[in-house]
Chains A and B, each alone.
Chain A
Amino acid sequence: MADRLLTTSKAIAEAIAQEMERDENVFVMGEDIGAYGGIFGATEGLLTKFGPERVMDTPISEMGFIGTAVGAATEGMRPIAELMFIDFMGAGMDQIYNQMAKIHYMSGGNTKVPMVLMTAIGGSYSDAAQHSQCLYGLFAHTPGIKVVIPSSPYDAKGLMTQAIRDDSPVMFFFHKGGQGLGWMTPNPRATGHVPEEPYTIPFGQADIKREGSDLTILTVSLMVHRSLDAAEKLAEEGINAEVVDLRTLVPLDRETIVNSVKKTHRVLIVDEDYKSYGMSGELVAIVAEDALDYLDAPPKRLAVPDVPIPYSRPMEQYISPNADKIAAAARELVAG
């Protein structure tokens, strides 16, 4: 088997293609996912391979087509619906929040909704308030939805394959800056080794992307990349950061989180979602509940402040966590 390099977007498209070959119940629907291949490349090549019956461009009707995916899933199909930007969730929110998430529970388990809702998240390329959000905190807060957030091509393929095979509704969040797209700011971490054969990565398994002993960085998505960049810098200063990529928020790998904090005694959470009432606060609570006595310093959070994301570059950069800020926070944590 050749040792191939794929971008994250190609890894996602490959996972979907392999599952579509394996299972005729899998199909894809969404805006511009056909000939265009998805605005962020997640469905590239699928239309040519499988045709319009299984790779369906939809009208701009999020409530309609997400609900259609729900209905098809209850009839035993395994749809993958793409919500172009997570910011558009409002246009279909009832179908996500009250229908997709809750039908299995309300039915007492007699009706399954085995669908994947994949979506693009994240900013730092000046797309402003309505096109730069992450919002995974909102959906992790909704019982009934599995929340999957890959940071690498290898993880993206394995997690997407797992998501398609899962009988529960899965929201799959890929970062626009991590897809390896030719028109985004180049990102070396958006390309990586991806096995050609199908494989899965179980949910609820965090991945320690870099081992360390001086502090634990808990993070997801593009912030994994920035944390790794920061960790390289910190290593030159003699500070060894452990970077834990959570990969899935629901289910969450509490054990890896707690074990890491017990080892390093200091925790920094890096979150590109809004700071308050989200992932970062949840992780602080977990650390406080399960590892309080092991902490040598209060947990530290670096997140996007509670403001809509501004357009102008200096302002957007001001509110976004980056490698320098992560390194500075880590130094403060270790010094304090």
Chain B
Amino acid sequence: MALSQEALLDLYRMLVRIRTFEERVGEMYYEEKLPAFDIAAGPIPGEMHLYSGQEAVAAGVCAHLRPDDPVTSTHRPHGHLIAKGVDLKKIMAEIFGKKTGLCQGKGGHMHLFDPDLHFGCGGIIGGGIPHAVGAALAIKKRGQDRVAVSFFGDGAANIGAFHESVNLAALWKLPVVFVVEDNLYAISVPKAASTAVRSNAERGAAYGIPGVQVDGQDAVAVYEAAKEAVDRARRGEGPSLIEGLCYRYRGHFEGDAEGYLKEGEKASWKEKDPITILGNQLKEQGWLTDSDAEAIQAEMTSLVGEAETFARESAYPAPEEALEHVFA
């Protein structure tokens, strides 16, 4: 499949947008926390799980999604949020715990919900997978051609909720795409030590659905696999499983000493950087020059900068707001 220049450039811009956002959050996270790391200190307190390195998966899948296609995500949600089109300012303000955040500061970095774009995420492994099934059930009941997508990791593929969800989706032939982001580790435990099968793509067969493995560093490869899965679902032919092999550059969480990594592993994955790979594909076609790339980077740096300014300048919620929103 040959992607158009426009489609490739859109993908490229999305990769850069996500990377720029994540790297900037990664810098700001350490403000006021050092020298002796205090997780509770600074403008972005708490845990932080950044997506740097995995951008091709979010971008390649979400390129096919409409605003009303539901997406569920995880404790590492920023890439999916951005690829879905959620407002960077609102994401950033929520990460900063401000009143202007997506969830008025109630959710923070791991619990972001945008009902206009049908986006939800949470910090319980496998917690969002059944929600995508439920969204797909609603879609099917209404006779719509929308598609639900659930993003989760190689670790989540072993939890009961995953297996129950895939079985339900297959049984009821629901329009959902399950995307396993295999970044080799569930915190410190490598996939080889947690998963009885070599590839989670094989698990599709256990439930009678297509399962494909793709190079998760190659945005075009992800794009192509996702197109097939999303189109299949829209046609009413049921769910699919995509396994994207990718890598996280910054550990499980910010502050992760990563003592469990193999020597040289990260360096070798960085040589397959998604932005470099797609950039080279574009340059080969004559669709991107170095100065184009710089301009795109500058644009994203500026966008992220605006989001940062908005977040910093926004007010915190009133403390008593903690008591609101328990019930609708």
Complex contacts, A106 vs chain B, CB 8 Å: 103, 106-107, 111, 113, 122
Is the pair B138, A108 in contact by a Cβ cutoff of 8 Å? no
Q: List residues 35-55 of chain B with CB under 8 A from any CB of chain A.
A: none
A76 within 8 Å of B by Cβ?
yes
A43 within 8 Å of B by Cβ?
no
What is the bound-complex CA distance between A53 and B173, given in angstroms? 13
What is the predominant secondary structure among interface residues of chain B facing chain A?
mixed
Is the pair B113, A77 in contact by a Cβ cutoff of 8 Å? no
In the complex, per-residue mask of A76-111: 1 if CB is within 8 Å of any chain B CB, else 0: 110100000000000000110011000111111111
Q: Contacting chain B: which of A61-69, A180-188, A228-236?
A: A61-69
- List 16 additional A-B contacts (Cβ < 8 Å) besides A61-B167, A94-B126: A63-B130, A64-B161, A64-B165, A65-B168, A67-B129, A67-B130, A67-B134, A75-B138, A95-B127, A99-B122, A103-B120, A106-B113, A106-B122, A108-B102, A143-B326, A144-B326
Indicate whether A107 sits within 8 Å of B167 (C-beta atoms), given known contacts A72-B137, A99-B131, A146-B327.
no
Is the pair B120, A74 in contact by a Cβ cutoff of 8 Å? yes
A residues contacting the other copy or chain, number (CB 8 A): 42
Is the pair A71, B328 in contact by a Cβ cutoff of 8 Å? no
A189 within 8 Å of B by Cβ?
no
Indicate whether A71 sits within 8 Å of B134 (C-beta atoms), given known contacts A98-B124, A99-B122.
yes
Is the pair A67, B102 in contact by a Cβ cutoff of 8 Å? no
Complex contacts, A110 vs chain B, CB 8 Å: 102-103, 113-115
What is the bound-complex CA distance between A77 and B111, given in angstroms? 22
Is the pair A59, B171 in contact by a Cβ cutoff of 8 Å? yes
B residues sitting closer than 8 Å to A (CB atoms) are 70, 72, 101-107, 111, 113-115, 118, 120, 122, 124, 126-127, 129-139, 141, 148, 160-161, 164-165, 167-168, 171, 324-328
What is the bound-complex CA distance between A96 and B104, given in angstroms? 23
Complex contacts, A152 vs chain B, CB 8 Å: none
Is the pair B124, A71 in contact by a Cβ cutoff of 8 Å? no
Complex contacts, B129 vs chain A, CB 8 Å: 67
Is the pair A64, B105 in contact by a Cβ cutoff of 8 Å? no
A112 within 8 Å of B by Cβ?
yes
Complex contacts, A59 vs chain B, CB 8 Å: 164, 167-168, 171
Is the pair B138, A94 in contact by a Cβ cutoff of 8 Å? no
Chain A proximity of B97: nearest CB distance (Å): 11
Is the pair B138, A76 in contact by a Cβ cutoff of 8 Å? yes
Complex contacts, A71 vs chain B, CB 8 Å: 70, 72, 130-138, 148
Is the pair B328, A104 in contact by a Cβ cutoff of 8 Å? yes
Name the residue of chain B whose CB is nearest to the CB of A110: B115
Cβ contact of A67, chosen from B113, B115, B131, B325, cutoff 8 A: B131
A17 within 8 Å of B by Cβ?
no
Chain A proximity of B208: nearest CB distance (Å): 14
In the complex, per-residue mask of A138-181: 1 if CB is within 8 Å of any chain B CB, else 0: 00000110100000000000000000001110000000000000
Complex contacts, B103 vs chain A, CB 8 Å: 106-108, 110
What is the bound-complex CA distance between A79 and B138, given in angstroms? 10
What is the bound-complex CA distance between A58 and B139, given in angstroms? 18
Is the pair B137, A111 in contact by a Cβ cutoff of 8 Å? no
What is the bound-complex CA distance between A58 and B282, given in angstroms? 48
Complex contacts, B114 vs chain A, CB 8 Å: 110
Cβ contact of B325, chosen from A61, A74, A104, cutoff 8 A: A104
Name the residue of chain A whose CB is nearest to the CB of B108: A106
Complex contacts, A68 vs chain B, CB 8 Å: 130-131, 133-134, 137, 165, 168
Is the pair A111, B130 in contact by a Cβ cutoff of 8 Å? no
Chain A proximity of B34: nearest CB distance (Å): 29
